[in-house]
Structure 1
Amino acid sequence: MEKFTFKKMDPGSAVPYELLLLADETIDAINQYIFDSDIYLLNDGVQDIAVIALYKNDSTELEIKNMAVLEGLRNKGIGSLLINKAKEIAKESGYTTLVVGTSDTGFQQIKFYEKNGFIKKGVRKNFFTENYPLPIYENGLQMRDMVVLTHDLSE
């Protein structure tokens, strides 16, 4: 794997919407959480190629609110690298749980998170139909519910 730099964005820096929009549908949706999140960028020496936004739910739980890798660089271990960095950050900060939510139609994403040590913990019913103005489709199905997965950091 090439030499990457992983860096927390400085507060006040321009929000990297072009990357964040790869994982979330609208700027309005991103703005609901991004200003209260810590944003980390992965750079390949030429450009930012991936982003992860971490949000403190409470003193024990850190949530991955957004994670995206440039299209042409997917399935090369970069997402797993971001997950491992998030686990490190969470552990160093004293969190006991890392949580992530994804669409019930996001079969690849669910499999990816499970491969990275997450387990299904619950479902937020009608999350996508209530929080987005227009229907969103993935894998030919309308996104409705959010599947919540957690990773126990004490392991």
Structure 2
Amino acid sequence: MELKGLEIKPLDWNGAVPYSLLLEADPSREKVDSNLQKGDCYVAVIEERTVGVAVLVPINENETELVNLAVSEEFRGKGIAKKLIFFCLDVCKNKQIAEVFVGTGNSSLSQLGLYQKCGFRMDHILKDYFIEHYQDEIVENGIQCRDMIVLKQSIKMPVPTAFRRWEQV
């Protein structure tokens, strides 16, 4: 489905920060603010309205984490989250980041499916992460959110020209 006028771009820091969306992805204002300070925020915009958000936070020079991915409720199911994910993966590829991680709760069933559809593979589990790091209990899909499922995608870098001898005739 093509969304008319959808644009994904870096957040304009002179405008309003889309906290309502960011806090949907992570209910901790402290963690959201920390991610915004350390990372790069990208927004999906339709007709000057922010309908989606994603933040990339560097882990080190070769690894980045995708955090705070959220789409406005009325725009869910239209492919915006996928477009944000692929946009972020392109940003990482252009920065020559080798691996991108994303973490989500054990109770976040649709998010787990989305990340896998976008090429992420399960990497490890941080047991009791949401119990230890969040004051309030989180429940999704009737399941208590306890563990963080960490998924990873390795970015395939283009082969340097010097190694493309097989392409020469």
Structure-1 separation of matches of 2:77 and 2:12: 28
Answer whether contact 2:52 2:70 (CA < 8 A) is retained.
yes
> Is contact 2:125–2:150 with CA below 8 Å preserved after alignment?
yes
More helix by share: 2
Cα deviation code 1:76-129 (max 9, x no counterpart): 111110011011000000101111000011111101100110000001111101
1:77 and 1:89, CA in 2 relative to 1: closer, same or farther beyond 3 A? same
* Counterpart secondary structure, 2:24: coil
Residue 20 of structure 1 corresponds to: 22
Please, what TM-score do these two structures have when normalized by structure 1? 0.93
Unaligned runs of 5+ in 1: none
What is the alpha-carbon distance in structure 2 between the residues aligned to residue 20 and residue 125 of structure 1? 24
Normalised TM-score (structure 2): 0.86
Deviates most, 133-142 or 94-103: 133-142
Residue 120 (structure 1) aligned to one of 119, 122, 126: 122
> d(CA) in 2 for partners of 1:45 and 1:65?
25
Give 1:53 shift. 0.5
Aligned to 1:54: 56
Query: For structure 1, which segment, 23-32 or 78-87, has the greater mean C-alpha deviation from structure 2 after superposition?
Result: 23-32
| SS of equivalent residue, structure 1 residue 90 | helix
Q: Give the distance between the partners of 2:35 and 2:10, measured in 1 at CA.
A: 16
Q: Which residue of 1 aligns with 2:146?
A: 144
* Cα deviation, residue 32, structure 1: 3.3
Query: How far off is 1:27 after superposition?
Result: 1.3
Aligned residue identity for 2:24: L
CA distance in 2 between partners of 1:68 and 1:92 (Å): 23
- In the alignment, structure 2 segments of 5+ residues that lack a partner are 158-169
Quote the sequence identity (%). 32
- Size of the alignment, in residue pairs? 155
Once the two structures are TM-superposed, the CA of residue 14 in structure 1 deviates from its matched residue by 4.3
Higher Cα Rg, which structure: 2
Supply the distance in 2 between the matched residues of 1:11 and 1:78 (Cα, whole angstroms).
22
Question: How far apart in 2 are the matches of 1:15 and 1:48?
Answer: 10
